[in-house]
């Protein structure tokens, strides 16, 4: 059974978030740790998805509505967990009365975000040597 919780970046949750992101972004995608851990985590709200008590996925939303750092451990992908994380972060944005949420989608994930109501805007850009496209979803 899967459960999603929105949490602060402290204590046990901080370690769970870091562990997932280190596995997915630093080890798998070879992103520089200095880029991945950008100093914004302590001011963000983080979603953690648990499977039988084990943290297996995460994402965050910043105070300006920017969603990012969506990561699912490899063994738990293709189970709909990414959607659960994004929807949990959107609920947080609604509760904070944000007008919109936005993100930079890796190109391979554009259709995933479109299914959740996000629309692309702007030009393709490179972040951490990976092609991205800006996407947004209006809440109000």
Whether 137 has a pLDDT exceeding 80, the answer reads yes
The 10 Å Cβ neighbour count of residue 23 is 14
Provide the pLDDT for residue 130.
87
Give the chain's radius of gyration (CA, Å): 14
Q: How far is CA 94 from CA 13, 20, 88, in A?
A: 23, 26, 10
Report how far residue 131's alpha carbon sits from residue 46's, in angstroms, rounded to the nearest whole number: 24
Provide the pLDDT for residue 5.
96
Provide the pLDDT for residue 38.
93
pTM of the model: 0.93
What is the per-residue pLDDT across 23-50, written as a single tens digit (0 to 9) for each?
A: 999 999 999 998 899 999 999 999 999 9
What is the per-residue pLDDT across 86-102, written as a single tens digit (0 to 9) for each?
A: 999 999 999 999 999 99
Report how far residue 124's alpha carbon sits from residue 130's, in angstroms, rounded to the nearest whole number: 10
């Amino acid at each position: 059974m899967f459960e999603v919780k929105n949490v602060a970046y402290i204590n046990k949750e901080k370690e769970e978030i870091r562990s997932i992101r280190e596995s997915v972004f630093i080890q798998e995608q070879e992103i520089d740790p200095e880029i991945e851990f950008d100093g914004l985590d302590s001011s963000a709200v983080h979603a953690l998805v648990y499977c039988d008590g084990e943290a297996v996925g995460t994402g965050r939303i910043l105070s300006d509505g920017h969603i990012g750092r969506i990561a699912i451990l490899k063994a738990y992908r293709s189970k709909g967990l990414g959607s659960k994380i994004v929807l949990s972060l959107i609920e947080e944005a609604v509760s904070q009365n944000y007008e919109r949420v936005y993100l930079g989608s890796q190109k391979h994930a554009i259709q995933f975000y479109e299914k959740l109501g996000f629309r692309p805007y702007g030009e393709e850009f490179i972040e951490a040597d990976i092609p991205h496209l800006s996407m947004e979803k209006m809440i109000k």
